[in-house]
Amino acid sequence: MDLDQSPPETTVRRLLGRFARHRRPARPPITVPHATHNNSNREFARKDGTAVWFFVFLPIFLLLYTIVEKMHVR
């Protein structure tokens, strides 16, 4: 402790240091350890067959559209 500091300043520094040490929040425990996810892109994974329906009916639709256009039926 420096002798040139006044006692109130020393007391304030000590109290602020004590307050700062007690106010620091503890880090929460990591719920999922690093690199242990089975599927990191779960929100993008498709649960239903939407893509399958799209790729099945797209060629059928294009084929029917081509036939209708060739027949000039509108």
The residue whose two tokens read 């239903």 is 48
Place of tokens 């700062």: 20
Residue 25 is encoded by which pair of tokens? 């929040």
Reported as a pLDDT band with limits 50, 70 and 90, residue 65 is very high
Domain residue spans in the chain?
49-73
Q: Closest Cα to residue 10, out of 18, 41, 51?
A: 18
- Name the token pair of 71: 């027949």
Please identify which residue in the block is written with the tokens 């040139």. Answer: 4
Please tell me whether the overall predicted TM-score, pTM, comes out greater than 0.75 for this model.
no
For the stretch 12-62, pLDDT in tens is 888 887 777 666 566 766 666 655 556 666 666 666 777 788 888 999 999
Sign of CA dihedral 6, 9, 11, 17: negative
